[in-house]
Structure 1
Amino acid sequence: MQREPRNSLGAAPHPPPNPSHMNTTTPRLLLLAHGSRQPEWARPFEAVLAAVRASRPELRVELAYLESMQPSLAQALLEAGAAGCTQLHLVPLFLGAGGHLQRDIPQAVRDAHLRHPQLTVRVAAAAGDSPDIVAALAAYALRCAQG
């Protein structure tokens, strides 16, 4: 008996958007988080996933992890390539660009490209490099200081 896949909270994963709106040339968006052994750790990332899907229902958006959680980055890239995807935008939801962005992510992209040469992956900068994210974190810190 095969079990239905579950997300980090034990719930069935968010269903992908209606596939009739998508084809292999429709770009995909892959959000990437670090991962943790603690399932509740993923809640904020799953909230980001849900918000992006709600804003852009025509866009195929997935969430993957580098460590300890599923799907892994490698799995997500290989699935996209196997489905015939030609363009994938990978957004690392990291505050800084450390070793994962410098080594691990590029290696996973190279490995996926070897198996699926049609797949072009554009890797965004770490989320923490965005002035919008910096401003949101600063505003949050200031709200915390008020009280």
Structure 2
Amino acid sequence: MSHGLLLFAHGARDAAWARPFEQARDHITAQHGPDTPVVLAFLEFMSPTLLQAGEQLARQGCDQVTVVPLFLGAGGHVRKDLPALMDQIRLRHPGTTWRLAPAVGETDTLVRALADAAWQLAHPREQPGAGGDAA
């Protein structure tokens, strides 16, 4: 039994936009080993698409795949476009069980991380010798 992970992001015309998502994929692989099938897919502008990535995981022998939307919120793409794509992938690969997870932005972990990052950016720590208030 092989469980694959399909990370799904929006995509952009600028290749640099994908860097954090690629780093997340690479971090998962580093933590869980190269035998853990992890693929990053995009809705538009970049490849592979969800259907192409799903094909790749099915060909690798995954009988279960969890699709994790790397979206901050569950807008139209997550609520409408993604379920339609999931229906297509289920029809193309009926021998694989496809599970759709909630958008990562709706998890307590990411909400707290966003809040912490925003606070730290708004209140940068004084660096020694950085010209702060002298006594």
TM-score using structure 2 length: 0.86
Return the alpha-carbon distance in structure 2 between the equivalents of residues 104 and 146 of structure 1. 38
Asked whether the 8 Å contact 1:81–1:112 carries over to 2, the reply is: no
Quote how far apart the aligned CAs of 1:83 are: 4.0
Amino acid at match of 2:89: A
Quote how far apart the aligned CAs of 1:143 are: 0.5
Q: Please, which moves more after superposition, 31-40 or 78-87? A: 78-87
Asked whether the 8 Å contact 1:82–1:116 carries over to 2, the reply is: no
Deviations 1:14-68 (A, max 9, x none): xxxxxxxxxxx21001111100000110011011011111000031111111110
Return the alpha-carbon distance in structure 1 between the equivalents of residues 58 and 83 of structure 2. 16
Counterpart selection for 1:114 from 77, 91, 112: 91
Quote how far apart the aligned CAs of 1:94 are: 0.4
Q: Which residue of 2 aligns with 1:129?
A: 106
Return the alpha-carbon distance in structure 2 between the equivalents of residues 38 and 145 of structure 1. 27
Return the alpha-carbon distance in structure 2 between the equivalents of residues 72 and 31 of structure 1. 11
Q: Equivalent pairs: percent with the same residue?
A: 44
| Counterpart secondary structure, 1:96 | coil
Q: Please, which moves more after superposition, 34-43 or 71-80? A: 71-80
Amino acid at match of 2:54: L
Q: Which residue of 2 aligns with 1:138?
A: 115
Structure 2, gaps ≥5 residues long:
125-135
Structure 1, gaps ≥5 residues long:
1-24
Amino acid at match of 1:33: A
Return the alpha-carbon distance in structure 1 between the equivalents of residues 2 and 61 of structure 2. 10
Number of aligned residue pairs:
123
TM-score using structure 1 length: 0.79
Quote how far apart the aligned CAs of 1:96 are: 0.3
Return the alpha-carbon distance in structure 1 between the equivalents of residues 103 and 92 of structure 2. 26
Return the alpha-carbon distance in structure 2 between the equivalents of residues 98 and 80 of structure 1. 26
Deviations 1:93-127 (A, max 9, x none): 10000111111111111111112111211111011
Amino acid at match of 1:53: T
Counterpart selection for 1:78 from 55, 68, 82: 55
**Two-structure CA RMSD over aligned residues (Å):** 1.2
Q: Which residue of 2 aligns with 1:97?
A: 74
Amino acid at match of 1:122: R
Deviations 1:59-100 (A, max 9, x none): 111111111001011111123234442100111110000111
